[in-house]
Amino acid sequence: MLYIGVDLGTSAVKLLLMNSEGHIEKIASREYALSFPHPGWSEQNPYDWFDQSMDGLKELLSECDKSQVAGISFGGQMHGLVTLDENDKVIRPAILWNDGRTTAETEYLNNEIGKDKLSQYTANIAFAGFTAPKILWMQKNEPDLWAKVKKIMLPKDYLAYRLSGTFCTDYSDASGMLLLDVKNKCWSKEMMEICHVTEEQLPKLFESYEVVGNLRPEIAAELGVSTGVKVIAGAGDNAAAAVGTGTVGTGRCNLSLGTSGTIFISSDKFGVDENNALHSFDHADGGYHLMGCMLSAASCNKWWMDEILKTKDYAGEQKGITTLGENHVFYLPYLMGERSPHNNPDARAMFIGMSMDTTREDMTQAILEGVAFGLRDSLEVARSLGIKIERSKICGGGAKSPLWKKIIAAVMNLKLDIIESEEGPGYGGAILAAVGCKEFPDVETACNKLVKVVDTVEPDPELVEKYEARYQEFKKLYPTVKCLF
């Protein structure tokens, strides 16, 4: 049988077709626009997600035996606020995960409602990117539009709704709304009251591998597949990427170097750190996970290359970097503010330590190192909980750089396992679809069979020592410059 995984990202939707043995038969992608109507705002049109996904699905299925297509599932950008009216029309552009407009609402939740109560209700505190602060912002600033809201959903769930007709979400994605009682896997009544939403406005909750319905007849006809094709709930992009890299069960780790950067640690037990520096979310395998998220990771390098150096030769710019662990330039990777562990939407990126002998290569290297140091910040929180991590999978666009992987392995002192498929959320979505269609009994069994490690980057002991000293210096920078933001 064939299974479709849909990775609904921030800049594009990537779709893949996987067979029962885990082999990727075909990949298609479609881009869509990202708008910044005000400084710090970030929005997208949900109609674009659907239109481009359908167009991509037609290409994906153009050469296969369509009678073999059994299921479709998703990995999707988290936290975005999608609102529909009583006629299922999109009320306003979706407010995305990297939108920073909700500073006042986030402060209200953390300071007036209180971080202790939020953590008690949801296992998390408020971050500017989360969905609940966006809801409060919309109520305050767009009351006429808010009055029309009948359905509140997350980005990938808009696709699931259009494809199946089921108003649904999964626990992993819902964990990032600040409306879910993560420990008990239900909507928090206290948070619904605080945010003035009803349970009727919120989607039905599913495990990521559960079937939510079948393709609508008109969708199946348009794609040329059976109406028996199952739609499986799917997961937030990081949980889906974790499935796609086999980071399931307990005590496993995945690093994702995408537009944002994450460290993801899976567990079969619920847990939360004392300061809520890491997110405590439900996992797509039915368990739990801790996650540190930095808002700008590979996007830092993309900004540097595209906007500043005006080049697309990413590999070429890294060729001249030959001396690691001795760079005198630091880079703070906070282009869009920062989430873990600082929780400061007003933080901004900066270079520190430049002198007359600073080179172009030094600046490029500082970008790569700064992102690695930012990920290390979250790893240190996990280590403070007594969690011992010695190796990690790694995925995302940034993971295609051998140099960046070498730096990260040394900065974090971790063995980095490279897997055969680096398709992350899309591959995880396809695996979830296979589990939902009973190809495998559970997610862990599927991952153990399908996810294959093909290489490992070992941390260089000499570089580990050098980067340890550099990291201790890096740690001092944010507290020193915080007053400037």
DSSP secondary structure, 240-285, as one string = HHHHHTT--SSS-EEEEESSSEEEEEEESS----TT--SEEEE-TT
pLDDT given at position 335: 95
Domain count, the chain: 2
C-beta separation of 357 from 378 below 8 A: no
Q: Does residue 387 fall inside a structural domain?
A: yes
Q: The domain containing residue 33 runs over which residues?
A: 2-233
Burial zone of 428 (CB within 10 Å; 0-12 exposed, 13-18 middle, 19+ buried):
buried
Which is catalytic among the residues 170, 237, 282, 417?
237
Residues of the chain with pLDDT under 50: none
Distance CA 432, CA 171 (A): 14
Is residue 85 annotated as part of the catalytic site, yes or no? no
Q: Does residue 228 sit in the same domain as residue 260?
A: no
pLDDT given at position 385: 85
Q: Does residue 440 fall inside a structural domain?
A: no
Distance CA 8, CA 318 (A): 29
Q: Does residue 138 sit in the same domain as residue 279?
A: no
Q: Does residue 221 sit in the same domain as residue 254?
A: no
Q: Does residue 377 sit in the same domain as residue 410?
A: yes
pLDDT given at position 108: 98
Distance CA 290, CA 276 (A): 10
Q: Does residue 54 sit in the same domain as residue 151?
A: yes
C-beta separation of 405 from 394 below 8 A: yes
Q: Does residue 348 fall inside a structural domain?
A: yes
Q: Does residue 283 sit in the same domain as residue 136?
A: no
Q: Does residue 75 fall inside a structural domain?
A: yes
Q: Does residue 436 fall inside a structural domain?
A: no
Residue 196 annotated as lining a ligand binding site: no
pLDDT given at position 411: 98
pLDDT given at position 40: 87
Distance CA 21, CA 361 (A): 43
Distance CA 216, CA 285 (A): 27
pLDDT given at position 235: 98
Three-state DSSP class for residue 82:
strand
pLDDT given at position 184: 97
Q: Does residue 281 sit in the same domain as residue 225?
A: no
Nearest residue to 480 via CA among 330, 289, 376, 364: 330
Strands 24-31 and 12-19: antiparallel
Which residue among 178, 207, 233 closes a domain? Answer: 233
Report CA Rg, the chain: 21
Q: Does residue 281 sit in the same domain as residue 357?
A: yes
Residue 78 annotated as lining a ligand binding site: yes
pLDDT given at position 18: 98
Q: Does residue 65 sit in the same domain as residue 122?
A: yes
Which residue among 233, 261, 280 closes a domain? Answer: 233
Q: Does residue 318 fall inside a structural domain?
A: yes
C-beta separation of 398 from 392 below 8 A: no
Which residue among 199, 233, 267 closes a domain? Answer: 233
Distance CA 292, CA 372 (A): 13
C-beta separation of 78 from 10 below 8 A: no
Distance CA 45, CA 305 (A): 27
> Domain holding 199: CATH number?
3.30.420.40
Distance CA 324, CA 404 (A): 11
Q: Does residue 229 sit in the same domain as residue 276?
A: no
CB within 8 A of 123, min separation 6: which ones? Answer: 175, 181, 182, 183, 270, 272, 280, 281
Q: Does residue 430 fall inside a structural domain?
A: no
Q: Does residue 26 sit in the same domain as residue 88?
A: yes
Q: Does residue 432 fall inside a structural domain?
A: no
C-beta separation of 444 from 237 below 8 A: no
pLDDT given at position 466: 98
Main-chain phi, psi angles of 150, to 5 degrees: -110, -25
Q: Does residue 315 sit in the same domain as residue 175?
A: no
How many residues are there in the chain? Answer: 485
Q: In 78-154, at which residue ranges do the beta strands (DSSP E only) sit?
A: 82-84, 94-95, 151-153
Contacts 24+ apart (CB under 8 A), 58-65: 58/222, 58/223, 59/28, 60/4, 60/15, 60/16, 60/17, 60/26, 60/27, 60/28, 61/17, 61/223, 61/224, 61/225, 63/26, 64/2, 64/17, 64/25, 64/26, 65/2
Condensed to tens digits (0 to 9), the pLDDT of residues 37-93 reads 998 899 999 999 999 999 999 999 999 999 999 999 999 999 999 999 999 999 999
pLDDT given at position 228: 97
